[in-house]
Structures are given as structure tokens and as C-alpha cells.
Chain A
Amino acid sequence: MLMHMMNWKSYWVLGAIFIVLLILPPVIPRFYTYIMALMFVTGLLAMSLNMVVGHGGMFQFHHAAFYGASAYAFALILTKTKLPLWVAFFAGPVLAAALGFLIGLFCVRLTRLYFGMLQISLGSLLWAIVFRWYDFTGGGDGLYGIPMPPFISSLKGSYYFILIVVAMCLAVIYLIFKSPFGATLLAIRDNPARCEAIGINVRRHQLAAIVIATFFGGMAGVLFVVLERSVFPDLLFWVLSLEIFIMCLLGGWFTFLGPMLGAAIIVSLRTFVGIYTEYWTLILGVMLILIIFFLPEGVMGFVLEKFSPRVSGPRKGGTE
């Protein structure tokens, strides 16, 4: 089905990238393997946020709350129960989606900015619970040294596991993006009032999108634990939410893979510029200003416009 929808060229390009990513770990230093895995996880998180922000036009200001909640659920189940790994693995995203449903239920009743404000407050509530409930969540210290089964306990093991899960998630997100559900979501982003008038229950559609997006956000949270084997309250702090919002903006939130690129840029900045100065956010700030002025469609939007004349005039039968 996927092959059906993309032209052959992009299929080959993606295949080539995937193969390169498969053979990289043995030939690059350990540190880079780790950074790349971190990029995948953060990228998935940004992609999941973009489903509601870029494609759905909703101000999901506190997406990290769901990411963190899922990470904690995964970590707590692994450390405090004897449930099998796969249960823990899916419990995270399912919890994230359930929270997404609950919080979304209130948020979709509000418009735009108020949606965002309410989400920040409800999300911060989750953060406060995690931060204060010392006995259960480890409070400000978090939880460390979470045991992983052998096949993902080495860095290489977790790298491959993350790569494959992220690739599968992206494939599913792409399918949803290109489905009637996704096309309708784009239409809601463009003009919710008009959508009501063509027979679409806008709030229900938005809520469904939030549930799906928070599920994938939760997936990223679980993968983070696989990589780091620790959780801490910063995972659901609003600062991280802002950061992933910036990733979407930076990479191009009207494109599909833009947020992935945005995540890669921010992770690299933090890692490589962060070595020289703790004021790496200064460089990020300047970059953002430049991008907003010169590349309003984000980096990916710019690249697509330059190299593919067909991006604004989609293929026959396309919606965007």
C-alpha cells in the first residue's frame, strides 16, 4: 500500500537511507550511534506532535506530558511489576492515548489559544504529580538503571530496535496522513467552519487526531526509556513541549518529514554546540529568527520547494 502511494524515486531514496542507517553503527563511534538513536526518538516525538499541530492546526502546547507519562508508565511497570516486556511496551502509548483523550475532551471545546492554555495547565498538573509523588515516581530524581531484556540492553541492540520501531511508526503515520482521515484533518486545519458545513463533526475528528498523536508520542516516550534506561520529570516539563514545537516549526510543519529534520537539527545543536557553550539556545534563537523571516515553510518546506516542482501542485488525485 505504501509503495502504491509514493513515486518510485522517493521509494528508492527512503530505502537507501534506511540501509545506510542499518549499516552505520558498527562503523561509527558509539557516541554517534547514541546521538542518532536519540534523533530518531525525538524525531518520532516531533512527528507525532506535528500530526495535531501542522496537519490538524491545533495548539497542542503540552505534548511532552504524554511522552513523559508513557515513559514513566513503561519504566514503572518494568521496575515494579513482573508483567512481560510487551505489555509494558504498549501500556505506555495506550496510557498516553487515554490521557490524550481525557485532556483532549476538554481542549477541543475551546478555540485555538485557549486550547493551548488549557493544555499547558492540565499537562503541568501531570508534571506536578510525577514531581511530587516521591515514593512512586522517584520525584525529582526520577528512576535510574531500569532493567532491559538482553536484546535491547546494548547500545547497538537498542539502536536497531529504535530504528525499526520508528520506521514502522512513520509508515503508519504516513498512511494516516494520506488517508481520508488525514485529508479531512488538513481541511479542518485550513477552515474548521467550512468543514462543519460539509458534514464533518470537527470536534470528534480533532479528538481522534489527538488520541492518535498522543499514542505515537507515547511510543517515543517508551523508546526514550529503551535508549536511556532512566526517566525524570523533565520528560513532561513544558520546556520540552516548547522544544518539540520549535522542531516542527524549524523543520517545516506543513511537510511530512519536516519535524524529523527539525528534531535532528535541535539534537545536533544541543550536542555539538552544547559542548562549547551552555548558551546553545542563543544560536537556536538566531536560527529561528532567520528561518521565520527567510524560510517561513521551514527547512524541509524550502528544500521540497527547491527540488520538487510538484510539491505545491500535488499528484493526480492528491489532497496536498
Chain B
Amino acid sequence: MLKVRDIGKSFGEFAAVNGVDLTVGKGELVAVIGPNGAGKTTLFNLITGQLKPDRGRIEFMEEEITTMPPYEICKKGIARSFQTANIFPRLNVFGNVQVAVISQQRKSNTLFHPAQGMAVEETNRILENLGLSDKALETAGSMSHGDQRILEIAIALGNDPKLLVLDEPTAGMSPEETDATMELIKQLAEERGLTILFCEHDMDVVFSVAQSIMVMHQGRTLIQGKPQQVRESEEVMKAYLGEE
């Protein structure tokens, strides 16, 4: 479904991503792991168009998306969440998700029809799925950090994506929140048949849910394979596990 081939991106002298390969098959739950500074977030920004790669090629559903702007990549069916809570702070929770659903329905430019009654059903379904229903009318910016992260995922779901990209969905969460969020992600993958690509620096979390794991180190891909394979890889041991 998603194929990343040998992409690279430098910021000045620093090669943040330098030769990354990644394959995500339909329906898979794929994790990217690597220590802080390995280039995970940069990789995700390259995939969803926030950054343009210096070299390499990204394909989604047999179509090249390497140089597309973020909004077009989104329309192709890739939605994402960000590492820091990246929401619409002055809108309420319902409005946060509704804007995404309206965009998905290609109605963002409608001028003379009240938005109030639009996309209500879809939005409510997503909020219910993610346990945000009772907070629907709260102003998003005043919610707890954990809730804002969940809202992030809800906004991404509003685009009804084929591929969901989650950048450290559990960053800054307590252990209980982390477990609940991973449970939620697993459930989304199973119930909606979503393909999910996420990154994490907490190893335990990753090995318990991911079907395929790509290990990044200093901007490069070390290996991509099944959890068992990755666990047994000597290279990974040396580069990553040895450090912790």
C-alpha cells in the first residue's frame, strides 16, 4: 500500500533521514522504532508532505506522492496525527472532528449552507468510538493532554483514511493512558480494517501490537521485519537495544 524507497532529507549539514526504506501492506499495523533523534518524525513528515524529500520516492496505492502538498496527500487517503497535540484549540471537540469530516466530504468551500447540521452523524460516530462523546461541547484547548492526543486521532479519522499515520501517539502519556491508547489503536485496526503506521520509542509497547517493525538508527533503516525477526537481529541489538 505504502512504499518508501531510499528517501533522504537534510537540514543544512545534518542528514535527518538518510536512506530509509519502508513497506506497509494493506491492513497491517506497522511500527517504526528508533531512539530519539533517529529521524522518525522527519520520516513521517516526508510521507505526509509537511516536508519534501531531497531524494528517493514515495508511493501510495501505486501512485507517486513524493512531491505532493499535504492536503493532496490527505485526499489520496493518508491522514495523520502529530507528536505534539496539534488540534484546533478554540473550536470545541465536535467542531475539531467535524471540520475534518466536512473536508473529507469535499464541502469545505460551501458558502451558503449552515455547517451546523452537516456531517453530524459521522462526527458523532467517531467521537463515540474514541470515547469523546461526553466531551463533545468542551473547548478543545482546555482539555487534558491525554484527551487532546485522543482528539488528534479523532481528527485524523474524520478524513476516513485508508492509511492512518500516528506520530508517537502515546508521547507524554501516563502508563495507564498509554495502555488505553494502544488498545484503542489495535481496536481501530481490527474493527475498521485500517492500515496503521505509527512510531514509538517505547519498545514494549511496539512489540506487543505491531505486526511489522522497521528499525531506524541515525536516519537509516536498519531492518524491517516481523517482531520476532527484529528481536533476533544482531544489528538491532548493537545499535538500539544495547543502548538501553
Instruction: State the A residues within 8 Å of B (CB).
Output: 1, 4-5, 175-176, 178-184, 186-187, 189-191, 193-202, 205, 208, 254, 312-320
Contacts and interface: CB of A to CB of B under 8 A. Distances in A.
A317 B120 contact: yes
Interface string B69-88: 11110110001101000111
B108 A184 contact: yes
B108 A317 contact: no
Contact of A198 (B91, B111, B158): B158
Contacts of B75: 199
Given A191-B87, A194-B82, A198-B155, A313 B92 contact: yes
A313 B137 contact: yes
Contact of B116 (A189, A191, A317): A317
Contacts of A179: 110-115
Given A194-B82, A317-B120, A319-B98, A199 B103 contact: yes
B137 A314 contact: yes
Max chain B Cβ within 10 angstroms of own Cβ: one of A183, A191, A200: A183
B117 A317 contact: yes
B39 interface: no
Contacts of A180: 102, 107-110, 113, 115, 118
B48 interface: yes
Question: Which of under 10, 10 to 19, 20 to 34, or 35 or more describes the interface residues of B?
Answer: 35 or more
Nearest to B99: A187
- Specify the main secondary structure of chain B where it touches its partner: loop
A199 B90 contact: no
Contacts of A198: 71, 74, 79, 99-100, 103-104, 155-156, 158-159
Interface string B110-132: 11111111101000000000000
Contact of B102 (A178, A184, A193): A184
A186 B70 CA distance: 19
B42 to A, nearest CB: 15
A296 to B, nearest CB: 13
23 contacts: A5-B116, A175-B112, A179-B115, A180-B107, A183-B98, A183-B102, A186-B91, A187-B95, A187-B99, A190-B87, A193-B50, A194-B86, A196-B71, A198-B100, A198-B156, A199-B71, A199-B75, A312-B139, A313-B138, A317-B117, A317-B120, A318-B116, A319-B115
A319 B92 CA distance: 6
Nearest to B117: A317
A181 B87 contact: no
B3 to A, nearest CB: 21
Given A186-B91, A198-B156, A314-B95, 5 more contacts: A183-B102, A191-B87, A198-B79, A312-B139, A317-B98
Contacts of B86: 191, 193-194, 197
A53 B13 CA distance: 39
